[in-house]
Structure 1
Amino acid sequence: MSKHKADKPSQGPIDVAAIRAAAKKFVDDGAVASGYKGNREEIIQMLNEALATELVCVMRYKRHYFTATGLNNEPIKAEFLEHAQQEAEHADRIAERIVQLNGEPDFNPKNLAQRSHAEYDDSGDIKSMIRANLIAERIAIESYRQMIERIGDTDPTTRQMLVEIMAVEEEHADDMGDLLDI
Protein backbone atom coordinates (compact mmCIF):
# COMPACT_ATOMS: atom_id res chain seq x y z
CA MET A 1 0.00 0.00 0.00
CA SER A 2 1.40 3.42 -0.95
CA LYS A 3 1.84 6.14 1.62
CA HIS A 4 -0.69 8.40 -0.15
CA LYS A 5 -3.51 5.87 0.05
CA ALA A 6 -2.84 5.30 3.75
CA ASP A 7 -3.04 9.06 4.42
CA LYS A 8 -6.54 9.42 2.94
CA PRO A 9 -9.39 7.56 4.56
CA SER A 10 -11.70 5.83 2.11
CA GLN A 11 -15.00 7.61 1.76
CA GLY A 12 -16.57 5.11 -0.57
CA PRO A 13 -17.87 5.65 -4.07
CA ILE A 14 -19.64 8.80 -5.16
CA ASP A 15 -23.41 8.50 -4.64
CA VAL A 16 -24.50 9.07 -8.22
CA ALA A 17 -28.15 8.32 -7.45
CA ALA A 18 -28.23 11.08 -4.80
CA ILE A 19 -26.52 13.53 -7.16
CA ARG A 20 -29.09 12.77 -9.88
CA ALA A 21 -32.02 13.08 -7.47
CA ALA A 22 -30.79 16.45 -6.14
CA ALA A 23 -30.19 17.75 -9.67
CA LYS A 24 -33.77 16.88 -10.63
CA LYS A 25 -35.31 18.15 -7.38
CA PHE A 26 -33.54 21.53 -7.49
CA VAL A 27 -33.55 22.06 -11.26
CA ASP A 28 -34.83 25.63 -10.80
CA ASP A 29 -31.56 26.52 -9.03
CA GLY A 30 -29.79 26.48 -12.41
CA ALA A 31 -26.01 26.24 -12.08
CA VAL A 32 -26.10 26.27 -8.26
CA ALA A 33 -25.66 22.62 -7.30
CA SER A 34 -27.09 21.15 -4.10
CA GLY A 35 -23.59 20.90 -2.60
CA TYR A 36 -22.86 24.62 -3.08
CA LYS A 37 -21.37 25.93 0.16
CA GLY A 38 -21.03 29.65 -0.52
CA ASN A 39 -23.17 32.40 0.94
CA ARG A 40 -24.84 33.30 -2.36
CA GLU A 41 -26.31 36.60 -1.17
CA GLU A 42 -22.99 37.83 0.17
CA ILE A 43 -21.07 36.64 -2.89
CA ILE A 44 -23.60 38.24 -5.26
CA GLN A 45 -23.29 41.52 -3.32
CA MET A 46 -19.48 41.38 -3.54
CA LEU A 47 -19.70 40.57 -7.24
CA ASN A 48 -22.06 43.49 -7.86
CA GLU A 49 -19.53 45.78 -6.15
CA ALA A 50 -16.80 44.28 -8.36
CA LEU A 51 -19.04 44.80 -11.39
CA ALA A 52 -19.49 48.47 -10.48
CA THR A 53 -15.74 48.80 -9.97
CA GLU A 54 -14.98 47.31 -13.38
CA LEU A 55 -17.55 49.53 -15.11
CA VAL A 56 -16.15 52.67 -13.47
CA CYS A 57 -12.68 51.55 -14.56
CA VAL A 58 -13.90 51.12 -18.15
CA MET A 59 -15.28 54.66 -18.13
CA ARG A 60 -12.12 56.10 -16.55
CA TYR A 61 -9.80 54.37 -19.02
CA LYS A 62 -12.04 55.37 -21.95
CA ARG A 63 -12.09 59.00 -20.85
CA HIS A 64 -8.32 58.97 -20.51
CA TYR A 65 -7.97 57.31 -23.92
CA PHE A 66 -10.08 59.94 -25.63
CA THR A 67 -8.73 62.99 -23.79
CA ALA A 68 -4.99 62.26 -23.62
CA THR A 69 -3.23 64.48 -26.14
CA GLY A 70 0.20 64.78 -27.65
CA LEU A 71 2.11 62.79 -30.23
CA ASN A 72 4.32 61.21 -27.59
CA ASN A 73 1.27 59.85 -25.80
CA GLU A 74 -0.04 57.53 -28.55
CA PRO A 75 1.45 54.38 -26.92
CA ILE A 76 -0.04 55.41 -23.58
CA LYS A 77 -3.43 56.02 -25.18
CA ALA A 78 -3.23 52.55 -26.75
CA GLU A 79 -2.52 51.10 -23.29
CA PHE A 80 -5.55 52.94 -21.86
CA LEU A 81 -7.77 51.53 -24.61
CA GLU A 82 -6.48 47.99 -24.12
CA HIS A 83 -7.12 48.21 -20.38
CA ALA A 84 -10.62 49.59 -20.96
CA GLN A 85 -11.42 46.60 -23.17
CA GLN A 86 -10.03 44.14 -20.62
CA GLU A 87 -11.99 45.80 -17.79
CA ALA A 88 -15.15 45.43 -19.91
CA GLU A 89 -14.37 41.72 -20.32
CA HIS A 90 -14.02 41.44 -16.54
CA ALA A 91 -17.39 43.14 -16.07
CA ASP A 92 -18.99 40.67 -18.50
CA ARG A 93 -17.50 37.67 -16.68
CA ILE A 94 -18.65 38.99 -13.32
CA ALA A 95 -22.18 39.71 -14.58
CA GLU A 96 -22.36 36.22 -16.07
CA ARG A 97 -21.28 34.67 -12.76
CA ILE A 98 -23.90 36.69 -10.86
CA VAL A 99 -26.58 35.24 -13.16
CA GLN A 100 -25.17 31.72 -12.68
CA LEU A 101 -25.62 32.23 -8.93
CA ASN A 102 -29.29 33.17 -9.58
CA GLY A 103 -28.62 36.83 -8.88
CA GLU A 104 -29.14 39.96 -10.92
CA PRO A 105 -26.19 42.03 -12.13
CA ASP A 106 -26.70 45.66 -11.13
CA PHE A 107 -25.90 47.92 -14.06
CA ASN A 108 -27.94 50.82 -12.69
CA PRO A 109 -25.88 53.95 -13.45
CA LYS A 110 -27.66 55.90 -10.72
CA ASN A 111 -25.60 54.31 -7.94
CA LEU A 112 -22.68 52.84 -9.88
CA ALA A 113 -20.07 55.21 -8.41
CA GLN A 114 -21.28 54.53 -4.86
CA ARG A 115 -20.91 50.74 -5.26
CA SER A 116 -17.54 50.98 -7.00
CA HIS A 117 -14.41 50.52 -4.93
CA ALA A 118 -12.38 52.55 -7.45
CA GLU A 119 -13.07 56.18 -8.26
CA TYR A 120 -13.73 57.89 -11.55
CA ASP A 121 -11.08 60.37 -12.62
CA ASP A 122 -11.23 63.34 -14.97
CA SER A 123 -7.59 64.39 -14.86
CA GLY A 124 -6.37 66.54 -17.71
CA ASP A 125 -2.66 65.72 -17.81
CA ILE A 126 -1.16 62.38 -18.76
CA LYS A 127 0.86 61.82 -15.55
CA SER A 128 -2.24 62.40 -13.40
CA MET A 129 -4.20 59.98 -15.59
CA ILE A 130 -1.58 57.28 -15.22
CA ARG A 131 -1.37 57.85 -11.48
CA ALA A 132 -5.17 57.67 -11.09
CA ASN A 133 -5.23 54.42 -13.05
CA LEU A 134 -2.43 52.93 -10.95
CA ILE A 135 -4.29 53.83 -7.74
CA ALA A 136 -7.51 52.30 -9.11
CA GLU A 137 -5.69 49.12 -10.09
CA ARG A 138 -4.17 48.84 -6.62
CA ILE A 139 -7.65 49.26 -5.11
CA ALA A 140 -9.05 46.56 -7.42
CA ILE A 141 -6.23 44.16 -6.56
CA GLU A 142 -6.77 44.54 -2.82
CA SER A 143 -10.55 44.30 -3.20
CA TYR A 144 -10.23 41.07 -5.18
CA ARG A 145 -7.71 39.70 -2.68
CA GLN A 146 -10.14 40.29 0.16
CA MET A 147 -13.06 38.79 -1.80
CA ILE A 148 -10.98 35.70 -2.60
CA GLU A 149 -10.03 35.36 1.05
CA ARG A 150 -13.63 35.76 2.20
CA ILE A 151 -14.97 33.21 -0.29
CA GLY A 152 -12.28 30.69 0.60
CA ASP A 153 -13.14 27.22 -0.65
CA THR A 154 -16.92 27.71 -0.49
CA ASP A 155 -17.28 28.71 -4.15
CA PRO A 156 -14.33 27.48 -6.23
CA THR A 157 -15.76 28.75 -9.52
CA THR A 158 -16.14 32.34 -8.33
CA ARG A 159 -12.81 32.15 -6.53
CA GLN A 160 -11.00 31.00 -9.69
CA MET A 161 -12.62 33.74 -11.76
CA LEU A 162 -11.56 36.39 -9.25
CA VAL A 163 -8.00 35.02 -9.12
CA GLU A 164 -7.80 35.25 -12.93
CA ILE A 165 -9.21 38.79 -12.98
CA MET A 166 -6.86 39.86 -10.17
CA ALA A 167 -3.87 38.59 -12.17
CA VAL A 168 -4.84 40.88 -15.06
CA GLU A 169 -5.32 43.79 -12.66
CA GLU A 170 -1.78 43.16 -11.38
CA GLU A 171 -0.53 43.36 -14.97
CA HIS A 172 -2.42 46.63 -15.40
CA ALA A 173 -0.85 48.05 -12.23
CA ASP A 174 2.58 46.98 -13.46
CA ASP A 175 1.90 48.67 -16.82
CA MET A 176 0.82 51.91 -15.13
CA GLY A 177 3.83 51.79 -12.81
CA ASP A 178 6.12 51.42 -15.83
CA LEU A 179 4.42 54.36 -17.56
CA LEU A 180 4.92 56.58 -14.50
CA ASP A 181 8.66 56.03 -14.90
CA ILE A 182 8.62 57.56 -18.40
Structure 2
Amino acid sequence: MKNDVSSTAASSKASGHQHLALDQSGLDAARNSLDDGAVTPSYGPWRDDVVKLLNDALATELVCILRYKRHYFTANGVESPAIADEFLVHANEESAHADLIAERIVQLGGEPDFAPTHLLERSHASYDESTDLQSMVRANLIAERVAVESYRQMISLIGDKDPTTRRMLEGILADEEEHADELKDWLGH
Protein backbone atom coordinates (compact mmCIF):
# COMPACT_ATOMS: atom_id res chain seq x y z
CA MET A 1 0.00 0.00 0.00
CA LYS A 2 2.82 2.40 0.86
CA ASN A 3 4.32 1.95 -2.60
CA ASP A 4 0.95 2.76 -4.19
CA VAL A 5 0.84 6.10 -2.34
CA SER A 6 4.45 6.90 -3.27
CA SER A 7 3.88 6.05 -6.92
CA THR A 8 0.69 8.15 -6.95
CA ALA A 9 2.55 11.10 -5.43
CA ALA A 10 5.38 10.68 -7.93
CA SER A 11 2.97 10.55 -10.87
CA SER A 12 1.14 13.60 -9.52
CA LYS A 13 4.38 15.56 -9.43
CA ALA A 14 5.25 14.39 -12.91
CA SER A 15 1.84 15.46 -14.24
CA GLY A 16 2.16 18.90 -12.67
CA HIS A 17 -0.56 18.30 -10.08
CA GLN A 18 -0.34 20.67 -7.13
CA HIS A 19 -0.77 19.10 -3.71
CA LEU A 20 -3.08 20.55 -1.12
CA ALA A 21 -0.96 22.10 1.60
CA LEU A 22 -1.56 24.64 4.33
CA ASP A 23 0.08 28.05 4.08
CA GLN A 24 2.62 28.08 6.89
CA SER A 25 2.86 31.89 6.87
CA GLY A 26 -0.89 32.07 7.54
CA LEU A 27 -0.52 29.65 10.44
CA ASP A 28 2.36 31.73 11.82
CA ALA A 29 0.29 34.93 11.50
CA ALA A 30 -2.54 33.27 13.44
CA ARG A 31 -0.20 33.07 16.43
CA ASN A 32 -0.25 36.89 16.69
CA SER A 33 -2.98 39.43 17.51
CA LEU A 34 -4.67 37.16 20.03
CA ASP A 35 -7.13 39.92 20.95
CA ASP A 36 -8.76 39.34 17.54
CA GLY A 37 -10.12 35.97 18.72
CA ALA A 38 -11.31 33.88 15.77
CA VAL A 39 -10.53 36.62 13.24
CA THR A 40 -7.20 35.67 11.68
CA PRO A 41 -5.32 37.68 9.04
CA SER A 42 -6.79 35.47 6.30
CA TYR A 43 -10.08 37.39 6.70
CA GLY A 44 -8.19 40.15 4.95
CA PRO A 45 -9.95 43.32 3.92
CA TRP A 46 -13.40 41.67 3.85
CA ARG A 47 -14.14 41.56 7.57
CA ASP A 48 -15.49 45.12 7.79
CA ASP A 49 -17.64 44.60 4.69
CA VAL A 50 -19.04 41.35 6.10
CA VAL A 51 -19.85 43.05 9.42
CA LYS A 52 -21.71 45.81 7.55
CA LEU A 53 -23.69 43.28 5.52
CA LEU A 54 -24.52 41.43 8.73
CA ASN A 55 -25.63 44.59 10.54
CA ASP A 56 -27.98 45.35 7.64
CA ALA A 57 -29.30 41.78 7.84
CA LEU A 58 -29.71 42.22 11.61
CA ALA A 59 -31.79 45.35 11.02
CA THR A 60 -33.92 43.44 8.52
CA GLU A 61 -34.55 40.60 10.96
CA LEU A 62 -35.46 43.04 13.77
CA VAL A 63 -37.92 44.94 11.56
CA CYS A 64 -39.43 41.59 10.51
CA ILE A 65 -39.86 40.58 14.15
CA LEU A 66 -41.69 43.83 14.88
CA ARG A 67 -43.91 43.49 11.80
CA TYR A 68 -44.79 39.86 12.56
CA LYS A 69 -45.49 40.66 16.22
CA ARG A 70 -47.81 43.53 15.27
CA HIS A 71 -49.64 41.32 12.81
CA TYR A 72 -49.87 38.51 15.37
CA PHE A 73 -51.56 40.79 17.91
CA THR A 74 -53.82 42.66 15.48
CA ALA A 75 -54.96 39.90 13.08
CA ASN A 76 -58.72 39.32 13.15
CA GLY A 77 -61.28 37.43 11.15
CA VAL A 78 -62.42 33.84 10.72
CA GLU A 79 -59.05 32.57 9.52
CA SER A 80 -57.00 34.81 11.78
CA PRO A 81 -56.19 32.38 14.65
CA ALA A 82 -54.27 29.96 12.41
CA ILE A 83 -52.56 32.70 10.40
CA ALA A 84 -51.77 34.75 13.52
CA ASP A 85 -50.17 31.67 15.08
CA GLU A 86 -48.00 31.36 11.98
CA PHE A 87 -47.01 35.04 12.32
CA LEU A 88 -45.84 34.32 15.87
CA VAL A 89 -43.84 31.27 14.76
CA HIS A 90 -42.16 33.39 12.08
CA ALA A 91 -41.45 36.20 14.58
CA ASN A 92 -39.72 33.71 16.88
CA GLU A 93 -37.69 32.25 14.01
CA GLU A 94 -36.66 35.74 12.89
CA SER A 95 -35.57 36.42 16.48
CA ALA A 96 -33.37 33.32 16.38
CA HIS A 97 -31.87 34.59 13.09
CA ALA A 98 -31.16 37.98 14.68
CA ASP A 99 -29.39 36.26 17.57
CA LEU A 100 -27.20 34.22 15.21
CA ILE A 101 -26.31 37.29 13.19
CA ALA A 102 -25.50 39.41 16.25
CA GLU A 103 -23.33 36.62 17.65
CA ARG A 104 -21.44 36.35 14.37
CA ILE A 105 -20.88 40.11 14.23
CA VAL A 106 -19.27 39.94 17.69
CA GLN A 107 -17.15 36.92 16.65
CA LEU A 108 -15.87 39.00 13.75
CA GLY A 109 -14.86 41.78 16.14
CA GLY A 110 -17.73 44.08 15.22
CA GLU A 111 -20.59 45.56 17.20
CA PRO A 112 -24.17 44.58 16.45
CA ASP A 113 -26.29 47.68 15.84
CA PHE A 114 -29.61 47.35 17.67
CA ALA A 115 -30.25 51.11 17.74
CA PRO A 116 -33.96 51.65 16.98
CA THR A 117 -33.21 54.88 15.09
CA HIS A 118 -31.06 52.95 12.60
CA LEU A 119 -33.30 49.97 11.94
CA LEU A 120 -35.56 51.25 9.15
CA GLU A 121 -32.76 52.98 7.27
CA ARG A 122 -30.65 49.76 7.20
CA SER A 123 -33.42 47.17 6.84
CA HIS A 124 -34.03 45.59 3.46
CA ALA A 125 -37.65 44.89 4.44
CA SER A 126 -40.36 47.34 5.42
CA TYR A 127 -42.50 47.66 8.50
CA ASP A 128 -46.24 47.33 7.89
CA GLU A 129 -49.33 48.49 9.78
CA SER A 130 -51.99 46.69 7.73
CA THR A 131 -55.25 45.90 9.48
CA ASP A 132 -56.66 43.54 6.83
CA LEU A 133 -55.49 39.92 7.19
CA GLN A 134 -54.73 39.41 3.48
CA SER A 135 -52.76 42.67 3.41
CA MET A 136 -50.74 41.39 6.36
CA VAL A 137 -50.00 38.12 4.59
CA ARG A 138 -49.04 40.01 1.41
CA ALA A 139 -46.74 42.44 3.30
CA ASN A 140 -45.01 39.54 5.05
CA LEU A 141 -44.64 37.60 1.80
CA ILE A 142 -43.06 40.63 0.14
CA ALA A 143 -40.68 41.02 3.09
CA GLU A 144 -39.73 37.34 2.98
CA ARG A 145 -39.08 37.52 -0.76
CA VAL A 146 -36.87 40.59 -0.19
CA ALA A 147 -35.04 38.68 2.58
CA VAL A 148 -34.55 35.68 0.27
CA GLU A 149 -33.06 37.91 -2.41
CA SER A 150 -30.83 39.83 0.01
CA TYR A 151 -29.50 36.61 1.60
CA ARG A 152 -28.83 35.12 -1.84
CA GLN A 153 -26.85 38.21 -2.78
CA MET A 154 -24.93 38.24 0.50
CA ILE A 155 -24.03 34.56 0.09
CA SER A 156 -22.78 35.26 -3.41
CA LEU A 157 -20.78 38.31 -2.31
CA ILE A 158 -19.18 36.50 0.63
CA GLY A 159 -18.39 33.35 -1.36
CA ASP A 160 -15.25 31.78 0.09
CA LYS A 161 -14.15 34.96 1.88
CA ASP A 162 -15.88 33.85 5.12
CA PRO A 163 -17.16 30.25 5.00
CA THR A 164 -18.61 30.37 8.54
CA THR A 165 -20.77 33.39 7.78
CA ARG A 166 -21.76 31.95 4.41
CA ARG A 167 -22.98 28.70 6.02
CA MET A 168 -24.94 30.64 8.65
CA LEU A 169 -26.58 32.74 5.94
CA GLU A 170 -27.39 29.63 3.89
CA GLY A 171 -29.26 28.21 6.90
CA ILE A 172 -31.18 31.45 7.41
CA LEU A 173 -31.95 31.59 3.67
CA ALA A 174 -33.52 28.12 3.84
CA ASP A 175 -35.79 29.31 6.69
CA GLU A 176 -36.77 32.45 4.78
CA GLU A 177 -37.65 30.40 1.70
CA GLU A 178 -39.84 28.17 3.88
CA HIS A 179 -41.55 31.27 5.36
CA ALA A 180 -42.28 32.59 1.86
CA ASP A 181 -43.76 29.26 0.78
CA GLU A 182 -45.99 29.14 3.87
CA LEU A 183 -47.19 32.71 3.36
CA LYS A 184 -47.89 32.04 -0.33
CA ASP A 185 -50.17 29.20 0.77
CA TRP A 186 -52.15 31.64 3.01
CA LEU A 187 -52.51 34.21 0.25
CA GLY A 188 -56.05 34.27 -1.10
CA HIS A 189 -57.63 32.15 1.69
TM-score by length of 2: 0.87
Work out whether residues 37 and 155 of structure 1, in 8 Å CA contact, stay in contact via their aligned partners in 2.
Answer: no
What do residues 38-84 of structure 1 show as CA deviations (whole Å, max 9, x unaligned)? 60111111100000000000000000000001343111011000000
Runs of 4+ in 1 over 6 A off after TM superposition: 15-18
What do residues 113-151 of structure 1 show as CA deviations (whole Å, max 9, x unaligned)? 110000000000100000000000000000011111111
1:45-64 matched pairs, under 5 angstroms: 45-64=52-71
Aligned to 2:34: 27
Aligned length: 179
Cα displacement (A) at 1:94: 0.4
Cα displacement (A) at 1:36: 2.4
Cα displacement (A) at 1:23: 3.3
The one of 125, 128, 151 aligned to 1:118: 125
The one of 6, 10, 18 aligned to 1:9: 18
Q: Give, in whole Å, the separation in 1 of the partners of 2:25 and 2:44.
A: 20
The one of 102, 108, 114 aligned to 2:115: 108
Over the aligned positions, Cα root-mean-square deviation in angstroms equals: 2.1
Distance 1:18 1:105, change over 3 A: closer
Distance 1:52 1:118, change over 3 A: same
- Structure 1 unaligned blocks of 5 or more: none
Counterpart residue identity of residue 95, structure 1: A
Stretch of structure 1 that moved more, 23-32 or 96-105: 23-32
- SS at 2:41's partner residue? coil
Work out whether residues 54 and 91 of structure 1, in 8 Å CA contact, stay in contact via their aligned partners in 2.
Answer: yes
- SS at 2:79's partner residue? helix
TM-score by length of 1: 0.90
> What percentage of aligned pairs have identical amino acids?
57
Distance 1:75 1:101, change over 3 A: same
